[in-house]
Structure formats: C-alpha cells, structure tokens
Amino acid sequence: MANNHTDKYLENNKRYANGEAVHTPSYPGEQPINPDKNVAVVACMDARMNIEDLLGLQTGDAHIIRNAGGVVTDDALRCLIISHHLLNTDEIILIHHTRCGMLAFTDELLKAGLEGDPEAEALLQKATGRNFTSCNCSSGTPEQFHAFRGPIEALDAPRSEKQDERLSWDVRRSISRIENHPWIPTEGSDAVTVRGFIYDVDTGKLDEVSYPGPMGTFS
C-alpha cells in the first residue's frame, strides 16, 4: 500500500529523536539495484542531517537525492523520473529543515555579491559571519540558486513561526512541481505518492507539511 514505508520511517524518526539508533551502519552484503522499499528522498545537504539515521533507512532501502535546500530542481526531477520509471520507486519523501541557509539570502543578492557589488558583499558577510570574497565576474550558470521566498533572516536563526511558514511554502512548491510533472504519475496503477516534512535540527523531529496550501509571496 502506498505510504506504508513513509509511515514506518516517521515512526523510526520518533525513536531517533528519543536517542535510539535506528540505522544499521554495517555493510549488508550483496543487494539488488532497485531500492528495497521503493522510496526516494529529496533532502537538503545540511551537515546536521543524516538522512539514513533520522529516518532509520537501511542501506539499499531508498534513493537519497540531496542539494542546497532540498529543492526540487530540474536535476532532482531528472533523478526522480529515473528513480520511478526505471528503478520502481513509488513513495517520495521531501525534507526541508529549520535554520536553513537558504533563508538567509536571495538569488539576486548572492549573484550581486559574486559579481563584486560592495553593498551585497557587506550584507552577505554580515549574514554569514565570514569574510565574503567576491569573484568579480559574471556567469550565466547556475541560472538559479533557489533561495526560499520571503524576507531574508540571519543565517542559522532560531526556529520561529515565520521561518516555518517560509519552509512550508517551499515544501509545497516542491510537492507541486512533482505532482504536476507530466512524467511523474500520481494516479492509476503506476502512481507515486509525495509527502513533505520539516526537520528540526535542534530536536531531531520531523513535522509534516500540509498540502495543498499557501506557496508564498515575493516579499
């Protein structure tokens, strides 16, 4: 039944947040190429998140796709399409997290800083607490950094209601990108299910994001 593995991993997360080890790190031996639990996870690259540990995934259970923010980019979609159509996954788990660096800048601010704008450099240095060294040149790639919508906040700011709102906006946008992609079926015998969560880096707990719902404003 769809979602049965996702629900199990949520139960594992409760145990993990209570201090129990639910991931077995030892080499499991020879395994097939298809993920055993038919699950794909898209999550942020943040160093405070060990996806196998916090979900209790075992080696061979799932595909894990990570990038800055856990954003469903074109490349993440490419991976999910391959994961589903060629390797039989049918449950997708999206994980954003509190205190995310993607809340601390905008795409235009970072581009301006990299291109040498002094005001942008100063703002980025203040936000990150480290020297920001401009490259003093422009580039066409990446086209987007996918910073999260809404007013920027200090890097690694404590969890707040506004932060949760901004994270939820992006989780919903990511769910929408998947559910509305013509090559990822959400109905019929080959349907994929998608659920999204916010991981609290201070408690180890996952909170589910409702969908559908608000996806944010520009300012």
Give the strand pairing for 62-67 and 91-97.
unpaired
Beta-bridge partner residues of 8:
none
What single DSSP character describes residue 58?
Answer: P
Three-state secondary structure call for residue 125: helix
* Alpha-helix runs per DSSP H in 50-147: 51-55, 74-87, 107-115, 118-128
At residue 211, φ and ψ (nearest 5 deg) are -150, 135
pLDDT at 1 (0 to 100): 44
**Quick one: what percent of the chain has pLDDT higher than 90?**
91
Interatomic CA distance for residues 24 and 20, integer angstroms = 11
CATH 3.40.1050.10 residue ranges for the chain: 33-103+146-209
Question: What's the average model confidence in pLDDT over 34-42?
Answer: 97
pLDDT at 117: 96
- Domain 33-103+146-209 class, CATH top level: alpha beta
Write down the pLDDT at residue 219.
58
Residue 103 scores a pLDDT above 50: yes
Mean per-residue pLDDT over the chain, rounded: 95
Report CA torsion sign: 127, 133, 134, 135.
negative
* The pLDDT of residue 166: 96
Percent of the chain residues topping a pLDDT of 70: 98
Residue 138 has what pLDDT?
Answer: 95
pLDDT at 129: 87
Q: What would the pLDDT profile of 117-137 be if each residue is shown by its tens digit?
A: 999 999 999 888 889 999 999
- Note the pLDDT of residue 187: 93
Q: What is the mean pLDDT of residues 46-67?
A: 97
Residue 217 banded pLDDT, cuts 50, 70, 90:
confident
Is residue 218 over pLDDT 70? no
Can you read off the two tokens belonging to residue 107? 């795409």
The phi, psi pair for 180, rounded to 5°, reads -105, 10
Structure tokens at 108: 């235009």
Residue 155 DSSP symbol:
T
User: Tell me, what DSSP letter sits at residue 195?
Assistant: E
Is-contact 64 39, C-beta < 8 A? Answer: no
Which pLDDT score is estimated for 216? 85
pLDDT for 134-189, tens place per residue? 999 999 999 999 999 998 899 999 999 999 999 999 999 999 999 999 999 999 99
